[in-house]
């Protein structure tokens, strides 16, 4: 792909100038702007309202100091952010990432992607992202709690059930959301749904924990069924990562009759030709917070290989990248293609580089971008907000059925947009256009603030 349209190219060049040194943000913006070429031709009214220029700039970005005290009594300082990217269709909504690599570029790319993803869910949620350059891996339970409380002390000033509703992402699960929610509640003196991904004892929704991974498999199932009259049954699957998204993608893939043979963490990957025993992975990752290497020590026949990129050399029919951005480069993509991969569906946000996506495109691999196929997590977050507002909770079966329907609808909306705008079957273009149109209509309707 490249820019066909002079206007879009000039917007992109201005974004590059204004955001120099932010490669992840520029990568995400470039992909969306390249996709909008047919929209610019068909919908000049949206261009006239300066919508695209407005969309490449976050509405608000808050950066703050997070100071906390470690177990030795020493003061530590981290940097925290909340990027309130776009509120055209609902309150800001999106996860919090705690990882040493977190910076403004990464959070802006995630907030930008979230805006289109949330639009695709069909639910009334705007886009946001936040987090801090904090590494919980080498911290004690007490240190994680004190960090989260300090982070939430500042965050509380900027969020609320009708304003901005954070949730989890890398390094943030139920434990961290609990500490943050507790602090928010103390400071605001309100028990409201200002966070999602809460414990079931404190207003959380059934299926939220499983939602991103399950949703990913529901999306793949619909895509395979509609395009190839096929299913996950009998397929060999490779899933990268071994966190929240990876574990529940693996669980649902196995329930749908596939065999997951490999998983990873940032140090290396495991291969188990008999199919991964997920109970062992859950014990290591969810209970012990250990490394995936332990799996090979506990399960006979399983092999551990250091280096996480090697997982893409494992032969599979379906690859589900569920770890982090840019984890599949052109070399990995070529390896997957050479080994006969037929589906690559993103559970992570932007896990494939533009060059990798081009390789999948030119080899007719069914490829789905994260903003479409990983939207199940935020969709169930939105259902959690809904249940909190009603002060009611739905059963597992009810939420799961809604999730399944939402994922199928996202697939069909993206597919239909790809067809309507002249790129039938290209889900990158279809998802970007379908996500954009709804946000753009809302922005146009609300006028330009000045």
Q: Which residues contact ligand NDP by CB under 6 A?
A: 99, 101, 168-171, 212, 241-246, 265-267, 308, 322-324, 347-349, 374, 377
210 belongs to the binding site for ligand 2IT (CB under 6 A): no
Name the percent of the chain in helix, strand, coil, to the closest 5: 50, 15, 35
164 belongs to the binding site for ligand 2IT (CB under 6 A): no
- Taking CB atoms, the residue at the shortest distance from ligand NDP is 243
378 belongs to the binding site for ligand 2IT (CB under 6 A): yes
Catalytic residues: 129
Q: Shortest Cβ distance from residue 165 to ligand 2IT (Å)?
A: 7
Residue 422: Cβ within 10 Å count? 12
Angle, alpha carbons 294-296-297 (nearest 5°): 65
Half-sphere CA count of 254, side-chain side, radius 13 A: 16
Nearer to ligand 2IT, 30 or 382 (CB): 382
Of positions 221, 381, 387, 418, contacts ligand 2IT by CB under 6 A = 381
Q: Which residue has the tokens 């946001």?
A: 128
346 belongs to the binding site for ligand 2IT (CB under 6 A): no
Q: Shortest Cβ distance from residue 377 to ligand NDP (Å)?
A: 3
Nearer to ligand 2IT, 195 or 421 (CB): 195
All residues at 6 or more sequence positions from 157 whose CB lies less than 8 Å from its CB, including other chains: none
**Cβ atoms of residues 439 and 119 within 8 Å:** yes
Of positions 349, 353, 387, 413, contacts ligand 2IT by CB under 6 A = 349
Distance CA 296, CA 94 (A): 35
**Distance from the first to the final alpha carbon of the chain:** 35
Nearer to ligand 2IT, 12 or 218 (CB): 218
Nearer to ligand NDP, 35 or 374 (CB): 374
All residues at 6 or more sequence positions from 397 whose CB lies less than 8 Å from its CB, including other chains: none
Distance CA 235, CA 186 (A): 49
Choices 87-95, 260-268, 277-285, 293-301; region in contact with ligand 2IT by CB under 6 A: 87-95
Choices 31-39, 377-385, 396-404, 432-440; region in contact with ligand 2IT by CB under 6 A: 377-385
- DSSP string spanning 76-109? EEEEEEEEEEE-SSSSEEEEEEE-TT--HHHHHH
Rounded to 5 degrees, φ, ψ at 372 are: -95, -55
Choices 4-12, 51-59, 91-99, 266-274; region in contact with ligand 2IT by CB under 6 A: 91-99
Which parts of this chain interact with ligand 2IT (CB under 6 A)? Answer: 93-95, 114, 117, 167, 169, 196, 349, 377-378, 381
């Amino acid at each position: 792909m490249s820019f066909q349209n002079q206007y879009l190219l000039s917007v992109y060049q201005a974004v590059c100038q204004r955001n120099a040194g932010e490669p992840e943000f520029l990568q995400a913006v470039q992909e969306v702007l390249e996709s909008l070429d047919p929209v610019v031709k068909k919908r000049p009214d949206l261009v006239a309202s300066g919508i695209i220029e407005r969309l490449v700039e976050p509405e608000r970005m808050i950066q703050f100091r997070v100071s906390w005290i470690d177990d030795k009594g020493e003061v530590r300082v981290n940097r925290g952010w909340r990027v309130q990217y776009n509120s055209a269709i609902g309150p800001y909504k999106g996860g919090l990432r705690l990882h040493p690599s977190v910076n403004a570029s990464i959070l802006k790319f995630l907030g930008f992607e979230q805006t289109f993803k949330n639009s695709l869910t069909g639910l009334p949620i705007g886009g946001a992202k936040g987090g801090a350059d904090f590494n919980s891996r080498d911290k004690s339970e007490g240190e994680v709690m004190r960090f989260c409380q300090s982070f939430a002390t500042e965050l509380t000033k900027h969020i609320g059930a009708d304003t901005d509703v954070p949730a989890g992402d890398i390094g943030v699960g139920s434990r961290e959301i609990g500490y943050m929610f507790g602090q928010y509640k103390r400071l605001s003196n309100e028990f409201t749904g200002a966070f999602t991904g809460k414990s079931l004892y404190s207003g959380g929704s059934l299926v939220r924990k499983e939602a991103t991974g399950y949703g990913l498999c529901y999306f793949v199932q619909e895509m395979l069924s509609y395009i190839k009259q096929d299913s996950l049954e009998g397929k060999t699957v490779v899933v990268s990562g071994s966190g929240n998204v990876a574990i529940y993608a693996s669980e649902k893939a196995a329930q749908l009759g596939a065999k997951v043979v490999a998983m990873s963490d940032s140090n290396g990957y495991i291969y188990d030709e008999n199919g991964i025993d997920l109970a062992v992975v859950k014990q290591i990752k969810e209970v012990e917070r250990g490394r995936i290497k332990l799996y090979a020590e506990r399960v006979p026949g399983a092999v551990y290989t250091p280096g996480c990129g090697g997982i893409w050399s494992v032969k599979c029919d379906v690859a589900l990248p569920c770890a982090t951005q840019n984890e599949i480069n052109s070399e990995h993509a070529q390896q997957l293609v050479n080994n006969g991969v037929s589906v690559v569906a993103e559970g992570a946000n932007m896990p494939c580089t533009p060059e990798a996506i081009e390789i999948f495109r030119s080899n007719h691999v069914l490829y789905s971008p994260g903003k479409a196929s990983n939207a199940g997590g935020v969709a169930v977050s939105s259902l959690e907000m809904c249940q909190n507002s009603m002060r009611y909770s739905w059963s597992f079966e009810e939420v799961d059925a809604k999730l399944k329907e939402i994922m199928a609808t996202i697939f069909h909306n993206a597919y239909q947009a790809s067809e309507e705008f002249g790129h039938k079957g290209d889900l990158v273009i279809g998802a970007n256009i379908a996500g954009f149109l709804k946000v753009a209509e809302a922005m146009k309707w609300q006028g330009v603030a000045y």
